[in-house]
Amino acid sequence: MKIFRLLTPLLLAIVAVLCFAPAAWAFCGFYVAKADTKLYNKASQVVLARQGDRTVMTMANDFQGEVKDFAIVIPVPTVLQKEQVRVTQTKIIERLDAFSAPRLVEYFDSDPCASAYSDNLPQSAPAPASERREAGSARGDRSLGVTVEARFNVGEYDILILSAKESGGLETWLKRNGYKIPRGAKQLLQPYIRSSMKFFVAKVNLDKFEESGYQFLRPLQISYKSPKFMLPIRLGMINATTEQDLIVYILSPQGQTEITNYRTVKIPSDVNIPLFVKDEFGEFYKSMFQTVYTKENRKVGFLEYAWDMGSCDPCSADPLTPEELKEAGVFWLNDNSPSNVPVRPGFRGSFPSSSVFISRLHVRYTRDKFPEDLMFQQTANSESFQGRYVLQHPFQGELKCQAGREYKRSLPKRFEQEAQTLAKLTNWKIQDIRNKMNLSVGNLTYSWWENFLSWLGLN
């Protein structure tokens, strides 16, 4: 009876488990050079288009070394067949990057003597292009508990899908077949093998590559069905000595995607910064990212952009066309859906829901702060967000009225505020910023006590 009492709840728990449904998978490989090429992977770009438990993943390939040395090993959830792997255009990732990049916006003050209303025209300058990198290596034989589940050729790549029984065998197999496996790979391969994952191994078929006539290796795109929504970053950390940048573009039918096992933090946005940043926006963004990354203790993922793909405001690039979205892996657009109506470029698109929502996550990770692979979840959060930085040009004409004089007097305070904001965001020296600003706003003079007062007012 006692046993029965203990067992009943347990049995019920098991029944409850059986009511749900299973599967498994994962990503992002390590470089495994075939020759002694100096390889390092500092940043990578991945596009994940996901609906339900179907995922299409596109991995940018900006491998820097000799094409013949390229090879990659990625854990995947299922055995992939030829139809599930294809190569796509590099352009598509560049388009996504440009569309979602943090942006600089310019506004021009109107004549304060002319009207009370200012009709500012926002203009956007495209943001710093993000860096990437990506890659790895492998090929076939048999023994050591390693099974070649599939072997095929896609575009300029030779693909192998391997399954393994234990990590030592897989490591030996890869080495025997000429892949240079980084030290420490064995320990890291084990968890993936034990989680029943397969290994996607790609290298370049040189003949096919020459035939194709492409200058660079094109991105690989794979599709699979699995409830697990994650990116394996651990393997990629084996041959990385410093922090690595990963930009993930997640396309979903409903709303924002967030990381479930690390915090997802919005990048600082909508701040007014000094005009000179226009010429060094890339530097600004890098410094700002580094500052906020350090401030968050180096252990969060950053949201840089979240928007319905049908519109943008302001646009740093035209929204992607339905064809481009399909190329990027979006598989849920029907040909008769309203989203196929040509997307209107330009800004202030009212709200033409395109049923594709993009989240751009920027994760800078290191081994000590990111021990676990990234897990994601799609949410219904349709809130728009963008990294947006504002340049506010002062009115340059003559100011004769009272309002004009007041406006002019208010400017130094505003500039100082912008300088402070910039210093806080980037950790740049405030004095350097002030010096630079004097250059760009040199025609505006203000007395020492105005300076002093504004300084006081802000401190």
Contact residues for other proteins (CB under 8 A)?
A: 5-6, 8-10, 12-13, 16-17, 19-24, 167, 187, 190-191, 194-195, 227-229, 254-255, 258-266, 297, 299-300, 368, 371-372, 375, 377, 379-383
Which of 70/302 has CB closer to other proteins? Answer: 302
Sign of CA dihedral 38, 44, 47, 50: positive
- 188 with 238: CB under 8 angstroms? yes
**Amino acid identity for residue 45 in this structure:** Q
Which of 271/411 has CB closer to other proteins? Answer: 271
Query: How near is the Cβ of 374 to other proteins at its closest, in Å?
Result: 10
4 Cβ contact partners less than 8 Å away, ≥ 6 residues apart: none
Which of 278/298 has CB closer to other proteins? Answer: 298
Which residues of 37-182 form beta strands (DSSP E)?
43-51, 54-59, 71-76, 85-87, 103-108, 123-125, 146-154, 157-164
Which of 109/166 has CB closer to other proteins? Answer: 166
Which of 378/454 has CB closer to other proteins? Answer: 378
Query: How near is the Cβ of 378 to other proteins at its closest, in Å?
Result: 8
Query: How near is the Cβ of 185 to other proteins at its closest, in Å?
Result: 13
Query: How near is the Cβ of 186 to other proteins at its closest, in Å?
Result: 10
Query: How near is the Cβ of 162 to other proteins at its closest, in Å?
Result: 18
Query: How near is the Cβ of 20 to other proteins at its closest, in Å?
Result: 5
Which of 167/316 has CB closer to other proteins? Answer: 167
- 292 with 268: CB under 8 angstroms? yes
Which of 25/389 has CB closer to other proteins? Answer: 25
Tokens standing for residue 229: 């929504």
Query: How near is the Cβ of 83 to other proteins at its closest, in Å?
Result: 25
Which of 4/448 has CB closer to other proteins? Answer: 4
- Spatial distance between the Cα atoms of 387 and 411, rounded to a whole number of angstroms: 25
Burial annotation 95-126 (CB, 10 A radius, 16+ → b, else e): bbbbbbbbbbbbbbebbbbeeeeeeeeeebeb
- Spatial distance between the Cα atoms of 311 and 320, rounded to a whole number of angstroms: 9
- Spatial distance between the Cα atoms of 79 and 70, rounded to a whole number of angstroms: 22
Query: How near is the Cβ of 383 to other proteins at its closest, in Å?
Result: 6
At residue 121's C-alpha, the angle toward residues 117 and 125, to 5°, is 150
Q: How many helices (H) and strands (E) does the chain have?
A: 10, 21
- 125 with 154: CB under 8 angstroms? no
